[in-house]
Structure 1
Amino acid sequence: MSAGARVGPGLYRGWWIVAAGFVCTLLAIGGTTYSFGLFVTPLSEEFGLSRADANGGFIFLLVGFAVWAPIVGRLLDRLPARSVMIGGAVLFAIGFTLIALAQSPLIMGLAVLGPVSLGTVACGALASNTLTARWFRAHRGRAMGVLAIATSAGGFVVPPLTALLMAQLGWRGALGALGLIVLVVVTLCVGLLVRDRPSDLGLEPDGAAAAASPAQAPPPERSWSTGALLRNANFWLIAWGTGILLAADQALLASMIPYGVDAGFGAQRAALLVSCLTFSAIFGKLAIGMLADRIDKRWLFTAVAACNLAFLLVLLSAPGFVPLMVACCVIGLAIGGTYPLWMTLTADCFGSTSFGAVMGTMNFVVMPFSIASIRFIGEVFDRTGRYDLAFQVFIGTAFLATALIWRVRLPRQGAGSSRQPGGRDASGAAPDRDEGPALHAEAVPGLSKE
């Protein structure tokens, strides 16, 4: 084992990779997805925009994420991750500076669609999860569970910082300062801590010593082309299953405060419901991530979907504030598990060699579900004055998502995702047997298990 393999007494270097990814994801997601709402009012006032038009910037951000993710994923598989992530931080800062200087909403929208969304994808969650998939295998669920917390933590840390900057510098100055903070912190974290692969330090994933001879080394993992991914049933099953459930979760989060206000709880207590749901989801991400190393991930996904369904039933019952707050605290523990299960299922089925490309392409499939669900729940309320129909539809989608995930063919226990044709598993097409239910390529008509 090389001298740089472990940092400190007994600490595997991969955990420092997770720490760097945590900070980068916290800043990238916290500075965009969670802080966006702070700029809606000043933009509306300065440019005379309606709230709907101002909120259109968030749609631009989501579309940008979907467009750039496949490209960034391929770059992460072909170029040094440090270069991609630092380049992303530079683009992030440039985009925020352009918005701060722009005198036209159109220029601002193009900046969000271009450098801001591209920079966020390149230095945030996609890059961090790609690195984590390379550095961990046996403890991949735990590592990705920790990393998944970063998106929620970003919602706690960055918006208050942004609000403070806005109070001191105005909204334009705050954008420039936030872009600079992200550039400096990400560059330092990535430059000091990130290394592409454990093999760079003479290690195998999880800190095992590198094999003494080629015969002892595990077989190389498969590299996936876009065409092979699109012909693979597991790709579509994971994308549709997790995408549908994540979309419902995001629609519920976006509507929880209006739901609480309409129920007569008041804005402050309604906001407390979101805080309880988000905070409990942090622990849920960590718990599900740890369990994912020990339990069939399809069963875990079923449990998460069941909790999602239970929460929807609670909402349909129009409960009082205290019962609803208890439900947010308890059921939110499991709802937070969808994201780490998405990451670990994908890594198990497709390996780490092309993880960036796989996740980037999958993001392009998943993102429209989120956009459509947020639009759908708003349309339901506008037409009926209630959210009940949307909740009922989401109950149905929870069942559909679970059914799709149970069609996923997992690699055999201990087989990983590394074997090549001649002894291939779920990542390399046509595994010879599955420890889960008997599944076949017919899970998605017309698709192969390539």
Structure 2
Amino acid sequence: MNESPVGKADGEFSLGWRLILASAFGVGFGSIGFVTYSIGAFIDPLGREFGWTRTQVQGAIAFGVGLGGFFAPVVGYMIDRYGGRKIALWGLVGVAVGYLMAGASGGSLGYFYLAYAAVALLGAGSGPVSWTRAVASHFHERRGLALALTLSGTGMAAIFVPPYTVYVVENYGWRVGYMALALLPMIALTLAAFFFFPGQSSPGSAAAVDERTLTGFTLREAVCSYRFWLLLASILTMYIGITGIVPNLIPALTDKGFTPAVAASIQSGYGVSLIIARLGIGWLLDRFWGPGVAAVTLTSPVIACLILMGEPSYATAMLASVLVGAAAGAELDLLAYFAARYFGLRNYGRIYGLLYTGVALGAGLGPISFAYLSQISGSYTASFQVALGLFAFGGFSILFLGRYPQGNVGIDASPT
């Protein structure tokens, strides 16, 4: 008698929850997870000590996120070929090294950027592609929820990192703040060392891998598909908007009269929303047409931009933060899910890694361009106006992905 889908789903989680736990911490405290969420706490202290502008400090994100994202296709290739465990573990060590370097910064802006480049390059293996590849290979019946739980690690980082960093910086100084950040990937490393065994992505277990997980598009077939470029365009525009707002939210709110601690608490609302939205999106993706779910969620920050262009109260500023968090919570989950559902798992690491360059480019452009716009205009209003248009395009364009390929290449069919 065949096992029911519910029974299969329960079996997947009973065997795979440790993998999800380790992967969630890896995503949250890896090379991409909290660079954006922590930089806001350092903007004013570094400006006071070294005379750096907000734009100059935010420029570190272009190195800390952008370089790592552009290296993601190489990481994806290495994972598909050699397996993800060693690559992910050494990547977490690299993140810690980069933050320790940042804490040793003098007055050289070039060295500061080099430290963030070290976070990106030495820590590239700890990016989302390592963790999502392993989870997508293990889960089939509840892949959407499993990926959502994994990627909720970024929400965990968004809740915890801003107040944690602000507290340490305000009480012990920015140098100790960077040392405190370096501890976080070590926590993830401990969990991953015990629980992260992505056997299905290991070449040594290739014979035991269910043939279903090896179907899908070649890299060339994916790149020649209009869906690839549509996903890339949506990811790019959404991430310019999201990463433009998030690291600038604390300085934008302090400009409007909020204290740094209160502004950090508002930004933490982003993280709570990110987790809730990510789990909700994962549940919905397993039951409804993904692009429709995506369009509703990804356009919600349009309302947030309208709020932030005015003079928000604490409640409305929190609502804006929550709406941006909902979109951010959906975006990475949608990317991982759509990459597997539309293109399959045979070359998931390489395809996902190439799509992730949209995240990298967006995350590199967003913070520095929004900070620059605020610098030349005297406020963040112009930045929020630009973000409004980006969110509208990125959200609605996803509807044109169309129906899933026949046979579900993400599980058991060849590309069609």
Equivalent residue, structure 2, for 1:275: 268
Indicate the residue corresponding to 2:125 in structure 1.
122
Matched with 1:77 is: 80
Q: Is the 8 A contact 2:158 2:268 kept in 1?
A: no
Q: Is the 8 A contact 1:143 1:289 kept in 2?
A: yes
Shift of 1:32: 3.4
Asked if the contact 1:280–1:332 (Cα under 8 Å) also holds between the matched residues in 2, the reply is: yes
Residue 396 of structure 1: aligned partner: 389
The answer to which of 340-349 and 306-315 deviates more is: 306-315
1:253 matched to 2:255:
no
Deviations 1:223-253 (A, max 9, x none): 633x444322211111111321232122232
Contact (CA 8 Å) 1:288, 1:334: kept in 2 or not? no
Which structure carries more relative contact order (alpha carbon 8 Å, separation 6+)? Answer: 2
1:339-358 equivalent positions in 2, closer than 5 A:
339-358=332-351
Aligned to 1:53: 56
Determine the structure 2 residue equivalent to 1:12: 14
Which residue matches 2:5? none
1:194 maps to 2:196? yes
2:3 counterpart residue number: none
1:220 aligns with 2:223: no
Structure 1 partner of 2:116? 112
Q: State the Cα distance separating 1:156 from its structure 2 match.
A: 3.2
Establish whether residue 305 from structure 1 lines up as the match of residue 308 from structure 2.
no
- Check whether the contact 1:69–1:364 (CA below 8 A) recurs between aligned residues: yes
Q: Indicate the SS of the match to 2:71.
A: helix
Q: For residues 254 and 64 of structure 1, what CA distance do their matches in structure 2 show?
A: 18
Aligned twin of 1:239: 232
TM-score normalised to the size of structure 1?
Answer: 0.75
Determine which structure has the larger helix proportion and give its number.
2
Q: Which structure is larger by alpha-carbon Rg, 1 or 2?
A: 1
CA distance in 2, matches of 1:166, 1:256: 17
Which residue identity does 1:306 align to in structure 2? T
Match of 1:27 among 23, 26, 29: 29
Give the counterpart letter for 2:14 in structure 1. Y
Query: Aligned residues, how many?
Result: 404
- The 3-state SS of whatever aligns with 1:295 is coil
Give, in angstroms, the shift of residue 33 of structure 1.
3.3
Query: Which residue number corresponds to residue 371 of structure 1?
Result: 364
Q: CA deviation at 1:82?
A: 0.9
CA contact (8 A) 1:25 1:150 kept: yes
Stretch deviating more after TM superposition (269-278 or 140-149): 269-278
1:284-299 matches, within 5 Å, as: 284-299=277-292
Q: Deviations over 1:208-228 (max 9, x none)?
A: x987xxxxx648313633x44
Q: Which one-letter code corresponds to 1:236 in the other structure?
A: W
Identity of aligned residues (%): 24
Structure 1 pair 85/369, CA: closer, same or farther in 2 (3 Å)?
A: closer
Deviation at 1:158, TM superposition (A): 4.2
RMSD: 3.7
Secondary structure (helix, strand or coil) at the match of 2:86 reads helix
- For residues 109-149 of structure 1, the C-alpha deviation after alignment (integer angstroms, 9 at most, x for no partner) is 32321x32124331242211121111122211111111222
Alignment correspondent of 1:132: 135
SS in 2 for 1:353: coil
Alignment match of 1:157 (pick from 130, 147, 160)? 160
3-state SS of 2:300 partner: helix
Q: Which amino acid aligns with 1:68?
A: F
**Paired residue secondary structure (1:417):** helix
The TM-score with structure 2 as length reference comes to 0.81
Cα pair distance change 1:337/1:96, threshold 3 Å: closer
Q: Which residue identity does 1:365 align to in structure 2?
A: G
Q: Secondary structure at the match of 1:407?
A: helix
Alpha carbons of 1:78 and 1:411: their partners in 2 closer, same or farther (altered >3 Å)?
same
Q: What are the ranges of 5 or more consecutive residues in structure 2 without an aligned counterpart?
A: 1-7
Say if 2:300 and 2:324, in contact at 8 Å, map to a contact too: yes
After superposition, give the CA deviation of every residue in 1:172-222 in whole Å (9 maximum; x if it has no partner): 566457546634x4443233222224598xx99xxxx987xxxxx648313
Note the residue ranges of structure 1 that are not aligned, 5 or more in a row. Answer: 1-5, 212-216, 432-450
- Counterpart-to-counterpart distance in 2, 1:266 and 1:310: 24
Q: 1:51 to 1:198 in 2, by over 3 A?
A: closer
Give the superposition deviation at 1:358. 1.5
Q: Which amino acid aligns with 1:78?
A: R
Is the CA contact (8 Å cut-off) linking 1:30 and 1:158 kept in structure 2?
Answer: no
Change (3 A) 1:106 1:80: same
Q: 1:34 to 1:304 in 2, by over 3 A?
A: same
What is the Cα deviation at residue 91 of structure 1? 2.5
Q: Could you give the per-residue CA deviations for residues 252-278 of structure 1, whole angstroms, max 9, x where no partner exists?
A: 323434443444455554444323233
1:143 corresponds to: 146
Distance 1:376 1:52, change over 3 A: closer
Cα shift at 1:46 = 5.6
Contact 1:26 1:150 in 2 (8 A): yes
What CA distance in whole angstroms lies between the structure 2 residues aligned with 1:170 and 1:312?
32
